[in-house]
Amino acid sequence: MTSPPAQSQDHPGTTGEMRPRPRDEMRDYVGRELLAGKRALVTGGDSGIGRAVSVGLAKEGADVALTYLSEDADARHTAELVEAAGRRCVTLGGDMAEERHCHEAVEHAVRQLGGIDVLVLHHGTQEPVKDVREIDAAQLRRTFEVNVLSLFWTVQAALEHLGEGSAIVITGSINGLRGNKTLIDYAASKAAAMNFAQSLAQNLMDRRIRVNSVAPGPVWTPLIPATFDEERVEGFGEQTPMGRPADPDEIAPSYIFFASDRLSSYYTGQTLVPAGGEIHPGA
């Protein structure tokens, strides 16, 4: 895609208001039954990367449960795309900052799908600032409850249902690898999320549950016009070596790779960095 023009919308943002519309429906993706018979829970699965991942998993044969904050129309559309791929899809709205909801999301997926084999923790929040002193206790708490604490709560609930050969994929960020001067608390939370994935991978090794993370660079999703001002949205992603942001469809295959035991059985504790040519050795 090309870099977007100036625009903004209310948080948490919707796909329908974005210009240009992102490629997030995996229209040209052809599955190979890599996840036939599997059941996946995708948090933040209503739009953007979460939508593309949900549809990609479905095209590989998985039934999908997805969570979302409040974007009902986007969640319904993603469910329709999953069902068009011939798989079941169930949705659950609510705030992942609440421990109770994290447990409910797991139980809802297990109850509706019969279990969980793949857990994709993709939900997140960000709020840019110009000065670190602008980050008050409420913002700091919100960022870490959504981006870090919820990961612990959801994994703790899911481990009762995840068996040998299951996979957990956690969304990190390029900002968690190299920081960001205006997304200070967000970058710190994503560094924590990726370290959590590495630690959890070691902890679950004996249970043969693989844990990996994906750290995308700039991706054109509703979160961008919903959290950045118009000036920053204009030209978003031009700083990458490729000179543009990614579409969600370009990021989703990293998650499918980690979800599939056939493709990534010897990968755990690793991070893939689809970042338009920005290189981070050792990630």
Distance CA 63, CA 60 (A): 9
Q: Name the DSSP class of 269.
A: S
- Given the structure tokens 């030209």, which residue do they identify? 235
Q: Name which CATH class applies to 32-272.
A: alpha beta
Per-residue pLDDT reduced to its tens digit, 201-245 = 999 999 999 999 999 999 988 878 887 888 788 888 889 999 999
**3-class DSSP assignment, residue 120:** strand
Among 29, 68, 186, 255, the one annotated catalytic: 186
For residue 137, the model assigns a pLDDT of 98
- State the Cα–Cα distance between residues 70 and 53, nearest whole angstrom: 19
Q: Is 186 a catalytic residue?
A: yes
Domain residue limits, the chain: 32-272
Q: Summarize pLDDT for 44-84 with one digit per residue, the tens.
A: 999 999 999 999 999 999 999 999 999 899 999 999 999 99
Greatest CA span in the chain, whole angstroms? 50
| Nearest-angstrom CA–CA distance, 22 and 246 | 9
For residues 21 and 18, what is the distance between their CA atoms, to the nearest angstrom?
5
Q: Is 223 helix (H, G, I), strand (E, B) or coil?
A: helix
Pair of tokens at residue 282: 């050792």
Q: Where are the beta strands (DSSP E) in the chain?
A: 39-43, 63-68, 89-93, 118-121, 167-171, 210-214, 271-272
Check pLDDT > 80 for residue 282.
Answer: no
